[in-house]
Copies of this chain bind each other. A is one copy, B any other.
Amino acid sequence: MTSLELQKLLDAVRAGTVDSASAAASITAAMRAAPFEDLGFARVDTHRELRQGFPEVILGLGKSPAQIAAIASRIISRRRPLLVTRAQPEAFDAVLEVAPAAKYHVEARAITLACGEVERGKGTIVIACAGTSDLHVAEEAAITADIMGNTIDRLYDVGVAGLHRILGEQNRLHDASVIIVVAGMEGALPSVVAGLVSVPVIAVPTSVGYGASFGGIAALLGMLNSCANGVAVVNIDNGFGAAAIASLINHG
């Protein structure tokens, strides 16, 4: 039982369409369910949605296709939306066997399967990225934000070397409730964007670059030291994490 389902059940009770006794029975059953399922190699956190607003997401990195499929299978069996990030095509093949309707997003390297109703966020999440090479990360954020119930607006290849590209889109920036800014190399875009708006900016450094970019450290440090207010940072290439907190903000 998700928090949205719980809320609807209680609304129904108040509206008189469900009687208290059967409502109580449903709630009790949900509470009795174990808070995790132990698969031996994994303990699926079945209460995460209640605590955090979205069911457990599978980070594909470092897990075998079989492990991913097994965990996915448990999530689907509870009829919750499925999201696997950092998924290789082999993982998708394995997931397809337990979830034939699942989709693979090549650019984002993510597997999704929408399921059940998800509460909609109140505004729009703008996802801006500095260059074409940042697309993998930006798309991971977009796919994540989408399945978590948010309206998204993509604004790609608007890096600071050609400022007019972002300055020309200020209207779209101002319409956002939260902005995710994805950038590699020197990672200057979040500072520029945050200086133009009055909404939270979630900065995602990417490993795009070479030499002294040190796999994204340059961009990460740049973003942590932003001279603009209203910027917070997630891990290098962590499009998922940026979307997760942006979704919480957009649902706040």
Contacts and interface: CB of A to CB of B under 8 A. Distances in A.
A186 B252 CA distance: 27
Interface residues of A, number: 97
Interface stretch (A14-22, A43-51, A73-81, A94-102): A43-51
A148 to B, nearest CB: 10
A63 to B, nearest CB: 5
Interface stretch (A5-13, A25-33, A110-118, A227-235): A227-235
A210 B111 CA distance: 19
A207 interface: yes
B207 A231 contact: no
A147 interface: no
Contacts of A131: 42, 62, 227
Interface string A122-161: 0100000011110100000000000000000000111111
Contact of A186 (B52, B167, B223): B223
